[in-house]
């Protein structure tokens, strides 16, 4: 199966790194970037052929010509024009996968030949460390086999979840933006430590490693956050006192409100 990455920035590089770590044959991967400098750097880094649109205007069309899967990883404002630019060169069966935030299946299918299989994904940034979550919504003409093949492309960088397109804004609000909420919490915890008299660097290290450790506990199959919370919150103890303070401040409702604000913003942006 030949895979073509259009754009090889943060996100597509992370997906590619996951594929290569799983032993995927480099001969079956092609990529493009805009600048020649990037193309040379990425080619050396990953040991694959990388064309640049700066050096060859038709680089994208050339790169997709024998592809089975094309992963569009350019910035959202350029996705539709990039899809249009490869439309005539795409093999009929090639599945076009978009990782762009906010670009709908309708936007994509309108830019591509009729019946071209299209998948819209919502990946999160943790893909860059091989622990991402990727939600996928498939277009009307995508077969089960094509879906399975695209699942495999992401298997090395994250966990794939299939959803309907109308659920993608909710997915974005939880998993797409989720790392941002966790980073904010890490910062707040560190600041609380500093306020208690710890050295700033020590407080940051404590907060960071605590989140990593707790995250690893949550990674255990079947892990239940409520049961884990109960296991350390002894009645009358110090953890319980802190959790009661969070409850009194309406912590859970604050999270619900934040997630709703995220969805409202997605809707304003027309996603």
Ligand X SMILES: NC(=O)c1ccc[n+]([C@@H]2O[C@H](COP(=O)([O-])OP(=O)(O)OC[C@H]3O[C@@H](n4cnc5c(N)ncnc54)[C@H](OP(=O)(O)O)[C@@H]3O)[C@@H](O)[C@H]2O)c1
For the segment 78-97, give every residue that binds ligand X (CB under 6 A): 78, 82
Using CB under 6 A as the binding rule, whether residue 33 contacts ligand X is answered as yes
Answer yes or no whether residue 3 interacts with ligand X by CB under 6 A.
no
Stretch that binds ligand X, among 26-34, 89-97, 210-218, 234-242 (CB under 6 A): 26-34
Q: How many residues bind to ligand X according to rule CB under 6 A?
A: 25
Q: Judged by CB under 6 A, does residue 100 bind ligand X?
A: yes
Alpha-carbon gap, residue 264 to 96, rounded angstroms: 28
Q: In the set 67, 99, 111, 203, which binds ligand X (CB under 6 A)?
A: 99
Tokens at 18, concatenated: 């996951």
Residue 125, interface with ligand X (CB under 6 A)? yes
Cβ–Cβ < 8 Å for 109, 117: no
The nearer residue to ligand X, 53 or 146, going by C-beta atoms, is 53
143: left (phi over 0), alpha (psi -120 to 50) or beta: beta
Please identify, using beta-carbon distances, which residue of 8 and 105 lies nearer to ligand X: 8
Among 11, 96, 108, 119, binds ligand X (CB under 6 A): 11
Query: What is the C-alpha separation between 218 and 225, in angstroms, rounded?
Result: 7
Q: How far is the CB of 48 from ligand X (least distance, A)?
A: 13
Binding pattern for the stretch 34-63 against ligand X, x by CB under 6 A and - elsewhere: xx--x--------------x------x---
Locus of tokens 């860059």: 128
Smallest separation, CB 93 to ligand X (Å): 22
Among 76, 89, 91, 151, binds ligand X (CB under 6 A): 76
Residue 193 engages ligand X in binding (rule: CB under 6 A): no
| 106, 78 Cβ separation under 8 angstroms | no
51: which residues sit within 8 A by CB, 6+ positions away? 30, 31, 32, 33, 39, 59, 60, 62, 63
Stretch that binds ligand X, among 2-10, 106-114, 148-156, 191-199 (CB under 6 A): 2-10
Q: Give 171 or 203: the residue with its C-beta nearer to ligand X.
A: 171
Shortest distance, position 192 Cβ to ligand X, whole Å: 28
Rule CB under 6 A: which residues touch ligand X?
6-12, 32-35, 38, 53, 60, 73-76, 78, 82, 99-101, 123, 125
């Amino acid at each position: 199966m030949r895979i073509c990455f259009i754009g090889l920035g943060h996100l597509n590089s992370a997906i590619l790194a996951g594929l290569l770590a799983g032993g995927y044959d480099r001969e079956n991967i092609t990529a493009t970037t805009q600048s020649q400098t990037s193309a040379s750097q990425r080619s050396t880094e990953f040991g694959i052929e990388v064309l640049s649109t700066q050096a060859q205007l038709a680089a994208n069309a050339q790169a997709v010509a024998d592809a089975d899967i094309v992963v569009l990883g350019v910035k959202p404002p350029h996705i539709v024009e990039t899809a249009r630019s490869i439309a005539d060169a795409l093999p009929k069966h090639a599945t076009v996968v978009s990782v762009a935030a906010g670009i709908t299946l309708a936007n994509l299918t309108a830019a591509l030949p009729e019946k071209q299989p299209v998948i819209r994904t919502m990946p999160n940034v943790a893909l860059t460390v091989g622990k991402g979550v990727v939600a996928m919504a498939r277009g009307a003409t995508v077969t089960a086999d094509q879906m399975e093949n695209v699942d495999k492309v992401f298997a090395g960088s994250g966990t794939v979840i299939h959803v309907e397109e109308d659920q993608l804004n909710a997915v974005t609000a939880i998993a797409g933006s989720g790392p941002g909420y966790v980073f904010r919490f890490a910062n707040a915890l560190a600041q609380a430590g500093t306020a208690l008299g710890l050295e700033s660097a020590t407080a940051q290290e404590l907060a960071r490693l605590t989140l990593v450790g707790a995250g690893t506990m949550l990674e255990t199959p079947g892990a239940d956050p409520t049961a884990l919370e109960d296991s350390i919150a002894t009645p009358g103890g110090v953890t319980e006192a802190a959790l009661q303070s969070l409850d009194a401040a309406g912590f859970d409702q604050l999270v619900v409100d934040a997630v709703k604000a995220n969805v409202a913003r997605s809707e304003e942006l027309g996603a």
